[in-house]
Amino acid sequence: MSCSSKSNAELSNGVNDINKHPLDKFIRQDRMPHIWCPGCGLGTIFNGLLNAIIKSGVDLDKVAIVSGIGCTGRIAGYVKFDGFHTTHGRAIPFATGLKLARPDLKVIVVSGEGDLFSIGGNHFIHAGRRNVDLTVICVNNSNYGMTGGQCSATTPVKAITATTPFGNFEAPFSLPHIAAAVGAVYVARWTAYHIQKVQSAIVHAIQKKGFSFVEIMSPCPTYYARMNKLGSGLDMMKFYKENTVIQQEVELKDISITRGGKIVIGDFVDKDRPTFNDLVDELTCRFTGAPLHKE
């Protein structure tokens, strides 16, 4: 379902009805209430995402949201933008096909770390290497929150999960390192506590041409926090407030996440290079003689 054809300014203005929320017009009310647990950061992130889309200035009739399976993946089904709730781990290839077929669309992938980096890791690597013009937002809660709290690709060493009851012994991925290594043009990491920074990062990622990546650390009080005795969702928000270090540098340093350690956050990479669509257009024009497409 697409939004109306009203301008961004008209849609972003507040409403007079005190019984309505300013973002109601973007949310599928027939899908409410949502499935997210109390204390989870996804509600806050959802709000930040919608505000970021509005503030980015993109044509709201040309926004498509793509997600995979998982708690975060439900976002695609809650919004009134066009979108796809795809199979597990396949959000990025769906989004790639959509962007190639409709290069005029702003395609935003929103999913969890299990979906994007465990089962879907290979797709992330190749979309980044190709510099497909996608905005990829990964909500990282360090476990599989929807299916029982199993260990994921980002679970810290020694952390307890449903499948690592004696502590995880596998080294976790550092998601910004992967994104930077495969060629993403914009890479950032923030937490659900730093929601204004999250919103700004998403705006920048949407406006950036190329493969942009934003990681958002988020509480999972039902499984990860409970199993690791980290307290409530509010306790985890306090942890993010007190145990994060902002590093605003283009060059990545040691930003790996350890259990109970400091979390380095910030905007890490911001550069430019030709997108996959640019190169496809160039190749097509070279052999057909057609004029080069300009956005």
pLDDT digits (tens, 9 = 90+) for 71-102: 999 999 999 999 899 999 999 999 999 999 99
Q: How far apart are the first and last CA of the chain?
A: 25
Task: Name the residue with higher pLDDT: 256 or 39.
Answer: 39
pLDDT band of residue 8 (cuts 50, 70, 90) is: low
Whether the bond between 93 and the residue before it is cis, its omega within 30 degrees of 0, is no
The chain-wide mean pLDDT, for the chain, equals 90
* The model's pTM: 0.89
pLDDT given for residue 186 in this prediction: 97
Per the document, the length of the chain is: 295
Burial of 41 (0-12, 13-18, 19+ CB in 10 A): buried
pLDDT given for residue 14 in this prediction: 46
pLDDT given for residue 1 in this prediction: 38
Average pLDDT over residues 247-276: 82
CATH fold of 26-288: Rossmann fold (3.40.50)
Share of the chain above pLDDT 70, in %: 90
3-state secondary structure 203-231: HHHHHCCCCEEEEEECCCHHHHHHHCCCC
pLDDT band of residue 288 (cuts 50, 70, 90) is: confident
Average pLDDT over residues 233-262: 82
CA-angle at 7, arms to 2 and 12, nearest 5°: 90
- Angle between helical axes of 276-288 and 91-101 (0-180°, round to 10): 40
pLDDT band of residue 294 (cuts 50, 70, 90) is: low
pLDDT given for residue 5 in this prediction: 44
pLDDT given for residue 16 in this prediction: 53
pLDDT given for residue 124 in this prediction: 98
Please say whether the beta carbons of 179 and 269 come within 8 A: yes
pLDDT band of residue 252 (cuts 50, 70, 90) is: low
Bridging pattern class, strands 263-270 and 244-246: parallel
Mean pLDDT lowest among 6-15, 78-87, 104-113, 187-196: 6-15
Locate 97 and state its tokens: 């096909």
> Which amino acid makes up residue 35?
I
Share of the chain above pLDDT 90, in %: 77
For the chain, the structural domain boundaries read: 26-288
Average pLDDT over residues 154-172: 96
pLDDT given for residue 256 in this prediction: 78
Residue 295 scores a pLDDT above 80: no
Residue 225 scores a pLDDT above 70: yes
Q: Which contacts qualify for 194-199: CB closer than 8 Å, 24 or more apart?
A: 194/240, 194/244, 194/265, 195/44, 195/45, 195/47, 195/48, 197/265, 198/45, 198/48, 198/52, 199/48, 199/51, 199/52, 199/55
Best CA proximity match to 108, nearest among 4, 220, 26: 26
pLDDT tens across 136-153, in order?
A: 999 999 999 999 999 999
Q: Name the one residue in this structure whose structure tokens are 């476990």.
A: 143
The DSSP-derived string for 113-132 is HIIIIIITHHHHHHHHHHT-
pLDDT band of residue 20 (cuts 50, 70, 90) is: confident
Best CA proximity match to 112, nearest among 93, 136, 129, 95: 136
Task: Give the Cα separation of 151 and 125 in Å (integer).
Answer: 21
